[in-house]
Structure 1
Amino acid sequence: MASRQRRGAAVAAAFVSAALVLTGCGNGDGDDKADNPASTTRTVKADNGTIQVPADPQRVVTIGNTGLPFVDMGGKPVGVTKVRDSELGLLPADQRATFEKATNLGDEVDLEKLAGLKPDLILVQIPDAEFKEIETKLGSVAPTVFWGLDTEWKALADGLAAAGNVTEALGRQKAEYDGHITKVKQQYSAVVASTKFVNVDRYASSDPGTFVIADIGCVEIAQDDLGLNFPKAADGADPLAYTALPFEQLAGLAKYDVITYPVDAAGKPTTTFAPVVETNTWKALPAATSGRAIGVFCPGNNSYGAVNRYLDSLDRALASLPAGK
């Protein structure tokens, strides 16, 4: 999943009647303090300011990009906006069950349906302009905490954990993440220092006979946090992943020492990428003939749990590399 390709949540056009306003459930900056004593509430900071939220929220609704990360940290939302089936298919079984148990608010945010869930907290990450259209209405239903699409995934995890009271789970995930990073840097220090990598991919929307050199998604973790040498776009330029390349240009990958490509949880090339590995050009690449074309599973790069699964797969892939160049 591309971290620079964030999805938004559209807004239902229907007007929300005054009956949807729930007493004592504002954003914490009005006259509702008597209904929310300090002993049962706390404040969190987000892109929409300092918000007073329940100390232990029980009925959380997630909108936009907040759903999967919140569930990843053990959250159990009562309402979610729709995500693609391909994303749900990458979740562990227990997380998928939790997500599917929540009321699906659809591609559009049906505010009347949302209010009927009687949430005590709403978590949102959508485009700023879309949030502005519904900010007041959401705030009349329950305390609403918003992050814009520019919020980096680690900062979003911190914010979600603080607002949704899942900081203990986040702490465990961060410790696991730190362990992965330390192990890879230490165990594969020579590989990190001397190897020219390239990450290739295909999308479901790719034209037949094309692939991309991908510098977005999980590979950003390998680049930024591990220091692996992958090609990436110049500052200010569009990602390399936005340019489709014909299969004929697969031969140009011969200049790289190691090729990484997408596989599913079972370690097989993804259905979308399979046409690439079936070409004679791919099979003839030095990396492919020497065991240096390695598949890596990327279940997502927007939460610690998903990134930890990616790092575990990358660790095993690096361990499979033959000695020497």
Structure 2
Amino acid sequence: MSSTLTTRRGMSVAVALMSASLLLTACGSDGDGNKAAGETGGDKSAKTRSVKAENGTVKIPAAPRRIVTIGNTNLPFIDLGGKPVGVTEVSDSDLAVLPKEQKTAYEAAEVVGSSGGDVDLEKLAALKPDLILVQFHSNDWDKVGKRLESVAPTVLWGLDTEWKEFADEIATAGNVTDELGRQKAKFEKKIAKIKKTHGKTIDDTKFVDVSRGDWSDPGTFYIADIGCSEIARDDIGLDLPEAAEGKDPLAYESLPFEQIAELSKYDVITYPVDAEGRPTKPFLPVTKTNTWKALPTVTSDRALGVFCPGNNSYGPVLQYLDSLDSALATLPTK
């Protein structure tokens, strides 16, 4: 699972991390004080337009020029070609896998606080934003939402927003829909290619996606049914285990290393690797166990490392699909 804080139910532990209160350290300047956004409504030739979001309907600039991103909106907006004037912090690991131009766009922005932590309202107001894009925990919004709206029109998304919807609405609010269209076309083309190339494997194979995070207890791992594996299951059609309807995701349950042997009932295992194809640091302890090494799936080269830099915007999802495509191509024939 990527360290990127992502959307929808695929953000199990990340959601908890985003729950830290957003502390505003100063009073704000004057602003619109309107509520936030997501879908378009109104004439694009007008100076403002109305959009809908988690916190209601708001008038935003038709073509905003000074956008501040807070929380999970940072990287998706930049992925869509946006150039924010202000951002909150993202992890070093997330920055490390960004394309050069996106990293440059992030570093050119003013950091106004930590993601899900402190935001300096005085610094934020000094940037004179005409739009603020926000995704963090609802408890934080209850505490600071009105104060953000006092600076500029503020668009809020809930943490359970599905990633494609999230991309659509960020693109609409941030006026970067042209790039969204290009990315969607690439996504659909890539999905179709994988289905065509690996159709027989997809139809005849029982997969399981396993992972481990830096938050996991020692000696534990989990079965990933959220995040990038959700895309493999729902968009590509891989036969992957998932929680029963209405139940918590399987990824919420930590499994002891003693249960690694139970993975032998699956035909293919996928697990997380970095951009260079090495097991991620949190998952490395799993690969060092004798039980893992003895799995028939591992000894027959049917354990596949897959790189997932994130799952809340098209750019990182496309990187994941490229990695999955390459991994499936290495499977030995039955």
Common topology (TM > 0.5): yes
Structure 2 counterpart of 1:21:
30
**Does residue 206 in structure 1 map to residue 213 in structure 2?**
no
User: Which residue of the other structure, out of 122, 139, 148, is the alignment partner of 2:149?
Assistant: 139
Is the 2:202–2:237 contact (alpha carbons within 8 Å) kept by the matching residues of 1?
Answer: yes
Once residues 45 and 24 of structure 2 are traced to their aligned partners in structure 1, the CA distance between those partners, rounded to angstroms, is 36
Query: Which residue in the other structure is 1:284 paired with?
Result: 294
Helix, strand or coil at the partner of 2:27: coil
Residue 12 of structure 1 is aligned with which of 14, 23, 37? 23
Task: State the structure with bigger RCO (CA 8 A, min sep 6), 1 or 2.
Answer: 2
Aligned partner of 2:278 in structure 1 is 268
SS in 2 for 1:62: strand
Q: Which runs of 5+ in 1 are unaligned?
A: 30-36
8 A contact 1:3–1:301 mirrored in 2: no
- Structure-1 residue corresponding to 2:265: 255
- 8 Å Cα contact 1:259-1:293 kept in structure 2: yes
Q: Which has the larger radius of gyration?
A: 1
Letter in 2 for 1:223: R
Structure 1 counterpart of 2:109: 102
**Match of residue 138 from structure 2:** 128
Query: 1:129: how far off?
Result: 3.2
Candidates 198, 201, 206, aligned match of 1:196:
206
Task: Give the Cα–Cα distance (whole angstroms) in 2 for the partners of residues 147 and 122 of structure 1.
Answer: 11
Q: Summarize deviations over 1:52-98 as a string: whole Å, max 9, x none.
A: 22222211001111111001111111111222223222322322222
The one-letter amino acid of 2:161's match is T
In structure 2, do the counterparts of structure 1 residues 38 and 133 end up closer, same or farther at CA, with 3 Å as the change threshold? farther
Of 244-253 and 2-11, more deviation after overlay is shown by 2-11
Are residues 1:69 and 2:76 paired? Answer: yes
Q: Are the counterparts in 1 of residues 24 and 144 from structure 2 also a CA contact under 8 Å?
A: no
Report the equivalent of 2:40.
Answer: none
- Note if contact 2:24-2:118 (Cα within 8 Å) is conserved in structure 1: no
What is the aligned counterpart of 1:86 among 83, 93, 97?
A: 93
SS at match of 2:232: helix
What is the alpha-carbon distance in structure 2 between the residues aligned to residue 300 and residue 84 of structure 1?
12
**Aligned match of 2:239 in 218, 229, 238?**
229
- The Cα shift of 1:8 comes to 4.6
Q: How many residues align?
A: 313
Q: C-alpha distance in 1, partners of 2:85/2:268?
A: 44
Structure 1, residues 179-210: CA drift from partner, whole Å, max 9, x if none?
11111122222211121101111111223322
1:257-304 Cα deviation digits (max 9, x unpaired) = 000011111111112212222222212111111111111000000001
Matched, 1:3 2:14: no
Q: Which residue of 1 aligns with 2:39?
A: none
Deviates more, 1:136-145 or 1:109-118: 136-145
Instruction: Return the TM-score normalized by structure 2.
Output: 0.88
SS of 2:150's partner is helix
Question: What is the DSSP-based 3-state SS (H/G/I as helix, E as strand, rest coil) of the residue aligned with 2:236?
Answer: coil
Q: 1:16 Cα shift?
A: 1.5
Equivalent position SS for 1:39: coil
204-213 vs 169-178, which deviates more? 204-213
Aligned amino acid, residue 170 of structure 2:
L
Distance 1:230 1:64, change over 3 A: same
Contact 1:297–1:313 under 8 Å retained in 2:
yes
Deviation at 1:26, TM superposition (A): 4.4
* Alpha carbons 1:11, 1:110 under 8 Å: kept: no
RMSD of aligned alpha carbons:
2.0
Provide, for residues 25-47 of structure 1, a one-character-per-residue CA deviation record: whole Å limited to 9, x for no partner.
Answer: 44389xxxxxxx96332222222
